[in-house]
């Protein structure tokens, strides 16, 4: 096994200079950048002092910022290596959500944890589940069925009570409740779980739904459905849209990958 790390997570292990992009190919591909060819035969991982490092043909891999692509648990390392093993002719980052999230955890979250926690805590004051529809009755009932149990759980678990608002009118939440959720976010250990939690929160717009997922109160499926009650109602009334469904499916895949990372990161 070579001790020389790969240049980065998508870099080919060669000394050749990068080639300029082909503008005609870019047009043919709809403006999308060309994907790098698969340059390795085997993806695996090696145990190191502080975790498990991704290896490609036995060579240690790096993140885009040249940091070691090292995972905190064997289970997560196996899942990330499986993404690399599943690539065929090219390496498609869109099909590697765990790898991209691991890179984010290492390169983005680990060196700026306080800023990430602060960003997440802003959701405590504008949480999705606090803003309810006034009508129609069916939507009101759907929101209550999905969101009231989350509010009850937050009160039982963190001692946090939340004021509800109708429509988009802003409502000030009790400072004690906000501080309780801020403490819950600050207690999340490790950059991998925090990166996963950030994705769970931003994709749902709800710190409470994300916390319920992280703590196992909601399954990923239940959490996703709870966060998309309004969309489910609109689709039932007006019908579905193919483009919107495709976007939603991509976001759901990101959400599910974040839930997997939160679980496997320990």
In the chain the first and final C-alpha atoms are separated, in Å, by 29
Among 91, 121, 141, which residue terminates a domain? 91
The answer on 136 and 237 residing in a single domain is: yes
DSSP state of 265: T
Q: What is the CATH number of the domain that holds 152?
A: 1.10.3580.10
Residues 10-36: tens digit of each pLDDT: 433 333 333 444 444 434 445 567 899
Give the range among 1-5, 191-195, 223-227 with minimum mean pLDDT.
Answer: 1-5
What pLDDT, in 10s, does the model give residues 198-250?
999 999 999 999 999 999 999 999 999 999 999 999 999 998 888 889 999 99
Q: Is 196 part of any domain?
A: yes
d(CA 109, CA 112): 5
148 with 216, same domain: the answer is: yes
pLDDT value for 266: 85
- How does strand 59-60 pair with strand 131-132? unpaired
CA gap 44, 146 in Å, rounded:
41
- The CATH number of whichever domain residue 80 belongs to comes to 3.30.2180.10
Structure tokens given for 57: 């043909």
Closest to 191 in 3D by CA, of 93, 96, 50 = 50
Beta strands (DSSP E) in the chain are: 43-48, 51-56, 59-60, 70-71, 131-132, 165-166
Q: Is residue 107 in a domain? A: no
126 plus 254 within the same structural domain: yes
Phi, psi of 37 (to 5 degrees): -70, 150
Q: Is residue 100 part of a domain?
A: no
- Percent above pLDDT 70 for the chain: 88
Domain with 213, as residue range(s), is: 112-264
Alpha carbons 17 and 20: distance in angstroms, whole number: 9
Is 78 in the same domain as 141? no
């Amino acid at each position: 096994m070579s001790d020389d790390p790969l240049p980065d997570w998508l870099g080919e292990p060669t000394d050749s200079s990068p080639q300029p992009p082909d503008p005609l190919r870019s047009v043919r591909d709809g403006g999308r950048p060309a994907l790098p060819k698969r340059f390795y035969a085997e993806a695996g991982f090696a145990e190191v002092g502080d975790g498990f490092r991704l290896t490609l043909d036995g060579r240690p891999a790096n993140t885009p910022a040249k940091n070691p692509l090292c995972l905190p648990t064997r289970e997560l390392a196996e899942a990330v290596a499986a993404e690399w093993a599943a690539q065929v002719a090219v390496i498609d980052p869109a099909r590697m959500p765990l790898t991209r999230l691991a890179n984010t955890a290492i390169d983005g979250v680990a060196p700026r944890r306080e800023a990430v926690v602060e960003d997440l805590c802003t959701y405590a004051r504008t949480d999705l589940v606090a803003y309810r529809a006034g009508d129609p009755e069916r939507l009101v009932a759907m929101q209550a069925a999905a969101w009231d149990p989350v509010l009850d759980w937050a009160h039982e678990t963190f001692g946090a009570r939340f004021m509800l608002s109708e429509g988009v009118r802003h409502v000030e939440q009790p400072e004690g409740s906000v501080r309780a959720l801020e403490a819950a976010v600050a207690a999340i250990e490790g950059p991998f779980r925090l990166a996963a939690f950030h994705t769970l929160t931003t994709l749902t717009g709800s710190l409470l739904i994300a916390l319920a997922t992280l703590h196992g109160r909601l399954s990923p499926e239940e959490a996703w459905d709870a966060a998309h009650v309004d969309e489910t109602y609109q689709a039932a009334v007006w019908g579905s849209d193919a483009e919107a469904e495709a976007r939603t499916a991509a976001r759901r895949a990101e959400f599910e990958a974040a839930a997997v990372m939160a679980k496997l990161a320990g």
